A and B are shown apart, each in its own frame.
Chain A
Amino acid sequence: MFIYFLTGLAFEGLGLAAYLQSRQGSDLPLNKHLKWLAAFGIVCGVTSWIDMFLTSGGTEEYLNILRLTRMIGQPLTGLLLLKFGWEILREIPLPKWTIFIPGVLIVPIAYVITYAATTFITPSPIEIPIDIWSRYLLYLPGAIMAGIGFLRQWNMQRKLGLSDVANLMLGAGVAFLLEAFIVGLVVPAAPYGPASYYNYDRVVFNAFTGEQAGVTGFLGLTNWLDYKRILDLTSLPISFWRMLSAFTVTFFVMRGLGVFEATRKQQLKALQDERAQAQKATLDAQIVARQTAENWTEILVNINRRITELEDVDRILLYIVENARKLLRADFVGLALLNETPHSLELKYFSRENTSEMITSPVIVKTPLILDTLESVHSYHSLGNEPPAKLENIMVGLQQPAIAAEIVPLELDNRPIGVLWAARSSEIQNSETDLIWLECMADQVAITIQHGLMTAQLQSLSITEERARIARDMHDGLAQVLGYLNLEVQTLDALHKQGKSEALTAELEKMRQAIQVANADVRENILSLRTTLANEQGLVSAMGEYLAEFGIQTGIETSITNEIEGELNISSIAEVQLVCILQEGLANVRKHAHASQVRVMIKKMIQKEGEYVHLQINDNGIGFKMRDSKRSFGLKTMKERASSARGILEVHSELGTGTTIECRFPCLEAEQLKKSPAIFSQEGRFSIS
């Protein structure tokens, strides 16, 4: 009686736990089946307690009511367990071959049910076949399905990493299979089916004939199938084993319900991981974006610095094209400019992997997409789904077809002047940002070209100014001397008429000196005009030639020391100013220093700010007081020339110790010169028409 109570208690506990869990709710599909488990536990518990009351005895009427209730409760328990077992079994999708199971089982099920139906007409009390068949047909398959369902849950939870819960699911699965064996298969004795020898009443029937037989039974199987024999070994009744099984099932299922909490924790952890990953991804994206922006900014700053330094326009444009390709991770970037005569779009600069070149022979761009973009004056951004023919030949000189492109028209003073485009054949996705950056580069191209035009205009103005200076020099120098000589000639004529030979000789000497000065000035001017930067042997060589000629003309001993190997690496404007400063310095030596020797030294110096070209002009003349230098117009002009090309000019002098002029100009960065060796070719230079 106490055992039935405990069995009922275990199942009621199971039902209550399942009910409370199902009330809590969960995303897990298992949760929606718990109501069936709860109902099973509660009804099963009640049935066990009815067994308890039946054993305690009572009036016949009271016992009949209990028996009737039990006859309803027993199959209901099996039905509820069958429902729960079926639901939990198919919760995880079953293998494909299980589709055929109904087709295979339909005939055996039909036979078993028919067989069961026929047993109800036997003379035994009706509660016996109800008990037996509700166990065989409902409880046994229900418990087996529930057991397999929990085992499948065990496998799934193990794969999800919930090993603790998975082990409890394994326990629940095994417990239900044990329950199937003890409760579903061990039945009261009856002369049909397995109950004929597999029962706990130790009554054995011949299952084939239905007659009562000895314990040896069919083929000797009853010896080990005889459950009573097993019970005898332990001296414990079947009700005890059922109670044990009930507690085992309840224990594992109740502990296994922890899967909901574990899943919640796992979901929380997954969310946290997801958030951490999202944060990291955002941070990475920000770093990449910042890095990209920094790269672009650096390139844009470099472009502007080069423009400011009046660097060669071809070199700047090639620099833009090459860096645009690198930063956009494009396979090809091209820059084409409109040619007025004949009217055509010519590819001038391009960059592809390992090659960035300025094209000397014109390559006419005929790609319709590029021409359309130029005409529409609107940027084109590829969506990546264009037909291949649309992007055909867009990557000049490359075999592989392009799959995406960005094209930006170039404008100057609201007039189209060309096109800048980037194309790629790889699967790297292009974005709107790429187009924005390319438009940025297109602006830089326009600025570079505009700046080049302005520089050319400035050079033209410089020429005009230089002409005016020469005219002024001639007016102030040669014209004055010639005027003076004209007066002197008139004086000589008068003295000759007067016969003043001594005075005539003195005036002739003055004329000779004046002519010598004029001659020196003219020769110097001629030398200055003749010395140009177009010397093929380079600037230093031209300076050496000038110095040698200066020595011959003036009789001053000159020497030049060149400590520079290769190029000077200074801007073109600095080169011009360097020559002018040398000329001005030497002119001062001739005019004012009374020196017999002048030394010129040119070298490179590395200072904190970078590399410099350093020019030193040193004479052994009379020198001057430094405070007088402030009034010197020539020195002031030299300093202005130096500062106009970001250079510095210093003068050191004392009376009787000669004068030293030092001037330095900053070198261009080495990498700017390495990138485009072809840029120095004479015929390919950027030309402004």
Chain B
Amino acid sequence: MNIREWTLPVYTILTQLATGALFVLWCIRTLGDSHYGREEMDRIVKVPILIILITAIVGIAGAHFHLSRPYLSFLAVRNFHTSWLSRELVYNLSFILSIAGLWFLLWYRKGYTKLKKILGWVAIFFGLTTDYCMARIYLLASQPAWNSPLTPISFLETTILLGIMTVPVLLIMDLRFSKSMKQEDQSIRHEIIQGSFTWLAIIAVVMVVATTVLNFFQISSLHAGNASAQTTLALLLNLYQPLLIIRYALLLTGVGWLGFSVIRLNSHRNVTEEMMGSLFIACLLVMIAEILGRFLFFAIHVRIGI
């Protein structure tokens, strides 16, 4: 793949990362409402929301480098009723606008806690819809490697896994920042981190198992497929085999690292802030693994016909 083609993994991964992070963060926020109060939870998600918004904007900006005439990208919305690409664009813009609105309310308006909560879930809806539309684009009969229910499932898996890996980094980063700013709600942040990270690690392990099973099914279906599928399989197992191995190695290492970090966190409760480096590495490894996976997704497709 040349650099222009690399814009597709950039866009898809970043959008799924933003959606997944927002989803995980909003689950924690919603569950924490009853324990710590909405105002308190809103204060904690303020900074992470800003980073998620930037990620989503960078993602869609990166997608424009894939286009021959980026300045005409807005014309794509005209085919909303017929094109998954148009729908993806519309829902992605809605997703970004929803997060932007949420960011505005969180940073500049006190109160409106219910509205903020609803807006968050609306943004998640738009994000997940974008993911679905994104996956539907690749469900083409001419592309056997893509034309499978595994494509939207793997996109959803990436969304959730990246969200699970990213949110701990965001929360620890926010904890350190709030401590450096001498904010008073440190204990609540600690409680949230202690309470949520174990579940996130467990879900991450489940997601890795699911990913492995999915890939097994993909390889099996390619093996049973037509000539194009065979070619794709040959590419995957020959030319790109080292990358496939590296991808799984990184994925397992990253999730394992998260698991060990959480175990250490639970046994030494005073090391929460020092976990930043450890969680960063775990997240980085899984992110590289997912980008490699997306690279392989684009690299191994073989078109039927011209």
Please give the residue numbers on chain A whose beta carbons come within 8 Å of chain B beta carbons, in ascending order: 96, 99-100, 102-104, 106-107, 109-111, 113-115, 117-118, 120-121, 192, 206-210
How many A-B residue contacts, CB cutoff 8 Å? Answer: 73
Task: Let me know if B288 is at the binding interface, CB within 8 A.
Answer: yes
Report Cα–Cα, A96/B176, bound state, in Å.
9
Query: Which residue in chain A gives the minimum CB-CB distance to B1?
Result: A118
Query: Which residue in chain B gives the minimum CB-CB distance to A209?
Result: B2
Q: A96-B181, A117-B243, A208-B3 are in contact. Are A107 and B170 (CB under 8 A)?
A: no
Chain B 166-189 per-residue mask, 1 if CB under 8 angstroms from chain A, else 0: 100110010011001100000000
Task: Let me know if B283 is at the binding interface, CB within 8 A.
Answer: yes
Given the complex, which residues of A lie within 8 Å of B242, measured CB to CB? Answer: 120-121
Q: A96-B177, A99-B176 are in contact. Are A118 and B295 (CB under 8 A)?
A: yes
Given the complex, which residues of B lie within 8 Å of A102, measured CB to CB? Answer: 169, 173, 276, 280
Task: Let me know if B122 is at the binding interface, CB within 8 A.
Answer: no
Q: A100-B173, A106-B284, A107-B55 are in contact. Are A114 and B180 (CB under 8 A)?
A: no
A-B contact pairs, 17 of them (CB 8 A): A96-B180, A99-B173, A103-B169, A104-B54, A110-B284, A110-B288, A113-B288, A114-B9, A114-B292, A115-B6, A117-B288, A118-B295, A207-B2, A207-B3, A208-B4, A210-B2, A210-B3
Task: Let me know if B287 is at the binding interface, CB within 8 A.
Answer: yes
Given the complex, which residues of B lie within 8 Å of A106, measured CB to CB? Answer: 166, 169, 280, 283-284, 287
Does B2 contact A208, Cβ atoms closer than 8 Å? yes
Q: 6 closest A-B pairs (Cβ-Cβ)? A: A110-B287, A114-B291, A210-B2, A96-B180, A208-B4, A99-B177
Given the complex, which residues of B lie within 8 Å of A210, measured CB to CB? Answer: 2-3
Chain B 226-267 per-residue mask, 1 if CB under 8 angstroms from chain A, else 0: 000000000000011011001000000000000000000000
Does A100 contact B292, Cβ atoms closer than 8 Å? no
In addition to A118-B292, A121-B242, 14 A-B residue pairs with Cβ atoms within 8 Å of each other are A96-B177, A99-B173, A99-B176, A99-B177, A100-B51, A106-B280, A107-B17, A107-B58, A111-B10, A113-B284, A113-B288, A121-B239, A121-B243, A192-B3
Given the complex, which residues of B lie within 8 Å of A207, measured CB to CB? Answer: 2-3
Given the complex, which residues of A lie within 8 Å of B161, measured CB to CB? Answer: none
Tell me how far the C-beta of B248 lies from the nearest C-beta in chain A, rounded to whole angstroms: 13
Given the complex, which residues of A lie within 8 Å of B6, measured CB to CB? Answer: 111, 115
Please give the residue numbers on chain B whose beta carbons come within 8 Å of chain A beta carbons, in ascending order: 1-4, 6, 9-10, 14, 17, 47, 51, 54-55, 58, 166, 169-170, 173, 176-177, 180-181, 239-240, 242-243, 246, 276, 280, 283-284, 287-288, 291-292, 295
Q: A100-B177, A103-B51, A110-B287 are in contact. Are A117 and B246 (CB under 8 A)?
A: yes
Query: Which residue in chain A gives the minimum CB-CB distance to B54?
Result: A104
Tell me how far the C-beta of B49 lies from the nearest C-beta in chain A, rounded to whole angstroms: 12
Which listed residue (B9, B173, B181, B291) contacts A103, Cβ 8 A?
Answer: B173
Report Cα–Cα, A445/B177, bound state, in Å.
66
Does A117 contact B10, Cβ atoms closer than 8 Å? no
Given the complex, which residues of B lie within 8 Å of A115, measured CB to CB? Answer: 6
Does B4 contact A209, Cβ atoms closer than 8 Å? yes
Tell me how far the C-beta of A286 lies from the nearest C-beta in chain B, rounded to whole angstroms: 45
Given the complex, which residues of B lie within 8 Å of A208, measured CB to CB? Answer: 2-4
Does B243 contact A118, Cβ atoms closer than 8 Å? yes
Report Cα–Cα, A117/B10, bound state, in Å.
15
Which listed residue (B1, B180, B291) contacts A110, Cβ 8 A?
Answer: B291
Report Cα–Cα, A111/B59, bound state, in Å.
12
Given the complex, which residues of A lie within 8 Å of B177, measured CB to CB? Answer: 96, 99-100
Given the complex, which residues of B lie within 8 Å of A192, measured CB to CB? Answer: 3
Report Cα–Cα, A106/B170, bound state, in Å.
11
Report Cα–Cα, A209/B291, bound state, in Å.
20
Q: A100-B51, A106-B169 are in contact. Are A114 and B295 (CB under 8 A)?
A: yes
Question: Which of B14, B51, B240 has the most A CB atoms < 10 Å from its CB?
Answer: B51
